[in-house]
């Protein structure tokens, strides 16, 4: 079967998307799905067919979460990103660069072991912070990935600190602002 491009799929009518769904999934879509929802599922499946699906490990983790939710409707999986031990999280705050190393169990910051990023963010700022938000883990990943050296994770707000440490300017809350990272042509 020749697969249409995403651009072509976007231009299809609801009925045409339903027919494409049936070809891609092997069964008709739920009858009340709106065109936008059909398009989202079809686009995902087209990308999956072209680029490959989830890894066996990801499928296993999702299956485990689904089973846990099936047993206990109140179950909420942990939202902590799973970084490999050795990953460095870097944040500029108060004129200083703060580096945290992810360990197998916990985090290392300035020679001490800590159980959470929030605990470390509180040490750095003196106020309560969501650790993931403080270290930019809930922000756009693209800017972070452009600036961070391999094996390093940083937030977009401090990505420039890694790319150009001498280019700081005032920033609300931290005393310094780091240049924005932009896509190079």
For every one of its 185 residues, what pLDDT tens digit does the chain have, with 9 covering 90 and above? 788 998 999 999 999 999 999 999 999 999 999 999 999 999 999 999 988 888 888 899 899 888 988 898 887 776 555 678 898 999 999 899 999 999 988 899 999 999 999 999 999 999 998 888 888 776 544 334 434 444 444 444 443 333 323 333 333 343 333 333 334 44
Task: Give the pLDDT score at 28.
Answer: 96
- Residue among 116, 151, 148, 147 at smallest CA distance from 134: 116
| 71: its two tokens | 């047993």
Task: Give the pLDDT score at 17.
Answer: 95
| pTM (predicted TM-score) | 0.40
Task: Give the pLDDT score at 132.
Answer: 83
Strand order in the sheet with 112-114: 112-114, 106-109, 96-103, 88-93, 152-154
Task: Give the pLDDT score at 39.
Answer: 95
H/E stretch holding 108: strand 106-109
Find where tokens 């509180």 sit: 122
Q: How far apart are CA 125 and CA 153, in angstroms?
A: 20
Question: Around Cβ 71, how many Cβ atoms within 10 Å?
Answer: 8
- Angle subtended at Cα 101 by Cα 100 and Cα 106, rounded to the nearest 5 degrees: 100
* Chain mean position to CA 15: 34
Task: Give the pLDDT score at 84.
Answer: 83
């Amino acid at each position: 079967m020749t697969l249409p491009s995403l651009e072509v799929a976007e231009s299809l009518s609801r009925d045409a998307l339903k027919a494409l769904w049936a070809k891609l999934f092997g069964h008709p879509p739920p009858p009340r799905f709106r065109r936008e929802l059909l398009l989202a599922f079809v686009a995902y499946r087209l990308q999956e067919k072209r680029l490959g699906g989830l890894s066996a490990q990801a499928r296993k983790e999702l299956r485990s979460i689904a089973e846990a939710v099936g047993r206990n409707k109140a179950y909420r999986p942990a939202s902590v990103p799973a970084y490999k031990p050795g990953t460095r999280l870097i944040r500029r705050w108060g004129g200083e660069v703060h580096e945290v190393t992810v360990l197998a169990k916990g985090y290392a910051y300035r020679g001490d072991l800590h159980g959470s990023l929030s605990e470390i963010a509180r040490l750095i700022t003196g106020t309560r912070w969501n650790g993931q938000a403080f270290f930019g883990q809930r922000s756009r990943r693209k800017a972070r990935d452009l600036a961070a050296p391999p094996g390093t994770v940083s937030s977009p707000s401090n990505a420039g600190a890694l790319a150009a440490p001498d280019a700081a300017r005032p920033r609300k809350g931290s005393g310094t602002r780091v240049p924005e990272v932009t896509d190079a042509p």
